[in-house]
Amino acid sequence: MSVAPNSGNYSRRTLIALMEDKPGVLGRVVNLFRRRNYNIESLSVGHSETPGISRMTVVVYGNDAVIEQVAKQLYKIVNVTKVSDISTEAAVFRELALLKVHATSATRAEIKQLADIFRARIIDVYPESMILEITGTEDKVDSLINMLRPFGIKELARTGRVAMVRGAGGVGGSGGSH
């Protein structure tokens, strides 16, 4: 095996990190990304299947060497228990977005039609607006946003990517069953 800095193609890569759910841990992670000048596209954190352990999905733009450094530096944080690069694995990637779209009686039907095509849900309707919820890959979310932009997007909230490897194995190393 040969490790060489500054080589290879840049692409979006997905890392999963498991970390102890303790005060300041997220701060340490974010601080690391800032201080080492890593290019983070999205980051989402929440509870994992194990009580006391949080799971973070981070999308990093980099080449092999950069991603390897990110993973190693993350693992050096004492509270981080596991780091996996799942970029090359069969995995599902999902993002959730909420969109508040300008909608009048004239456009409501057309927006609903678009929502149906994208399997987005309409979760709130007001005379001047409606809120749509969509779950899917970033590309799918991007597409819906593009289609809705002409109607006027008043607010947009995206969660960033969450990811999971397909099959029985997992990033926890225990096979994932309880």
Partner 1 sequence: MSMRLNGAQILWECLVREGVEVVFGITGGSIMPVYHELPNYPVRHVTVRHEQAAAHAADGYARATGRVGVCMATSGPGATNLVTGLATAQMDSSPVVAITGQVASTVLGTDFFQEVDTTGITMPIVKHSYLITDVRQLATAVKEAFYLANSGRPGVVLLDITRDVQLAETEFDYPSSVNLPGYKPHLHGNVRQIRQAAEMINQAKQPVIIAGRGVIIARAEDELLALVEKAQIPVVTTLLGKSAIPETHPLCLGMGGMHGEAYANHAMQSADLIVGIGTRFDDRLTSTASTFAPAAKIIHIDVDPAEIGKRVRVDLPIVGDALNVLRQLVPLVQPATHPEWLARIEEWRADTRKRDILWRNTTELVPQYVVRQIWEATRGQAIMVSDVGQNQMWEAQYYLHQRRRGLITSGGLGTMGFALPAAMGVAIGCPDALVWVVAGDGGFQMTVQELATVVQEKLPIKISILNNGYLGMVRQWQEFFFKRNYSGTPILGPDFAKLAEAYGIPGITVKEKSQVVEAIQRALAIEGPVLIDFQIEREHNVFPMVPVGQPIDKMIRRPLES
Smallest separation (angstroms) from partner 1 to the CB of 36: 9
Nearest Cα neighbor of 120 from 135, 101, 138 is 135
Whole-number Å distance between alpha carbons of 113 and 110: 5
CA 127 to chain centre: 32
Minimum gap (Å) between residue 112 Cβ and partner 1: 47
Question: What phi and psi values does residue 129 have, to the nearest 5 degrees?
Answer: -155, 165
Nearer Cβ to partner 1 (23/175): 23
Please, what is the minimum distance in Å from the beta carbon of residue 45 to partner 1? 15
68 vs 89, which CB is nearer to partner 1? 68
Site of interaction with partner 1 (CB under 8 A): 1-6, 19-20, 23-24, 27-28, 31-32, 35, 65, 68-69, 72-73, 75-82
Closest CA to 61 of 48, 50, 52, 70: 70
**Nearer to partner 1 (CB atom), residue 1 or residue 106:** 1
**Amino acid at residue number 98:** L
**Cβ proximity to partner 1, 65 vs 147, nearer residue:** 65
**CA neighbor of 19 nearest in space, from 35, 30, 8:** 30
